[in-house]
Amino acid sequence: MATHTCQRDKMGFESDLEFCPTCGAILPLPGNGDYVLCVTCKFKVHVTDFDGITTYSEVKFNSPVQRSTVTEETTDSLLKGPRVDHKCSQCGNDTMIYHTRQTRSADEGQTVFYMCPKCRFQESEYS
């Protein structure tokens, strides 16, 4: 692996050629110019220093996530909980199941999630 040395505050240190010896940033790949320039601190190294170095890259894609289906047991657990007099805007049922969550910052109110036990329509209310 090729390295280069830099004088910084009268202390010399070495780093791999892929990294800037001044600030430690990753250096871009050599292009058509005579120098490779660090985008962070403007350190430059001549492209001939990269002669004989082979660069490999690989692209990996994540496997697609299989979506699970909602089971009857999960649906039944959603139908449990406190009920409140709140009219369903979908079917007109007079009671809905609710639960609350803190979805925003602590100095703001909780979000109330409603679910109709009759048609299973869901809605939320920011308080």
Tokens of 53: 């170095």
Residue 95 in tokens: 């009671």
Q: What is the pLDDT of residues 75-114, one digit of tens each?
A: 566 677 888 898 988 899 999 998 888 888 888 888 888 9
What the chain holds in terms of domains, given with CATH numbers, is 3-50 (no CATH), 80-126 (2.20.25.10)
Q: How do strand 35-37 and strand 11-16 relate by DSSP bridges?
A: unpaired
Element (H, E) at 44: strand 44-46
pLDDT band at 30 (very low <50, low <70, confident <90, very high): confident
